[in-house]
Every structure is written in C-alpha cells, then in structure tokens.
Amino acid sequence: EEQLVESGGGLVHPGGSLRLACDPSGFIFSRYTMYWVRQAPGKGLEWVSSIIESGRTVSYADSVEGRFTISRDNAKNSLYLQMNTLGVEDTAIYYCVRAKSGDLDYYFDLWGRGTLVTVSS
C-alpha cells in the first residue's frame, strides 16, 4: 500500500524551530516531486514548498521563503521540512503530498495524514 507518514510536529514557542519528516512507503520515492501543504485550524489548504525528484530545484510560498527549507534524502527514502523563526501564523496541520503528472501539470494523488504544528507562547 502506498503511504506517506509525517512526524516531527508539536508545540513550539514563537521564534523557535521544528523539523518535520515524511516517510514514504509502497512506491519508488525518488521518482516523484514532493510537496508540503498546510492547513491552519478551520482554514483552507495552502501550498508551502516543493522539491523535484533529484532535490536540485525547490520552491517556497512567499509566506515561508527564507524561513523554511525543504530537502530530501532519496537513499533514506525521506522528505524533510526545516522550519525556523516560527510564528503563530505557522500553526497548522502540515501534510506531506506526492505529485503526479497530469496533462498540463501536476496534481496531488497521495496525501499523508498530517502532523500538527502549534506555535504558541
């Protein structure tokens, strides 16, 4: 069964850091572009970051640029999100997501269950 399992969430003070991890299984991880998508409590979905198969190209939403770093280790089958200088606005469930190629672009065909990050004093 194809699966994504996130870990690393928790409670952190404003200005603090957290490192999220995503462990894929059931598919060849190195063949897919991967994403982090977050959802603040009671709010909609927000794209956070993406990384291509090789890891050489990454992208970030403006809201996290300069504070978050996405990375992957294909040998270890893992995806990461290093989050620094966290603010209360970063409080959200963070989903690890697999992108699949469609006709024109990508869509998200596999989602993890998410890990909750709470930023609070």
Residues that bind another protein in the complex, under the rule CB under 8 A: 35, 37, 44-47, 50, 59, 61, 95, 100, 102-109, 111-114
3-state SS assignment for residue 8: coil
- Inter-residue contact 103 to 11 (CB < 8 Å): no
Cβ(113)–Cβ(5) below 8 Å: yes
* CB 78, min distance to another protein, A: 19
User: d(Cα 92, Cα 116) in Å, to the nearest integer?
Assistant: 6
Does residue 16 sit in helix, strand or coil?
coil
Q: State the minimum distance, in angstroms, from the CB of residue 111 to another protein.
A: 4
One-character DSSP codes across 49-63: EEE-TTSS-EEE-TT
Q: How far is the CB of 39 from another protein (least distance, A)?
A: 8
CB of 47 to another protein, least distance (A): 4
Contact status, residue 22 vs residue 114, Cβ threshold 8 Å: no
Nearer to another protein, 56 or 121 (CB): 56
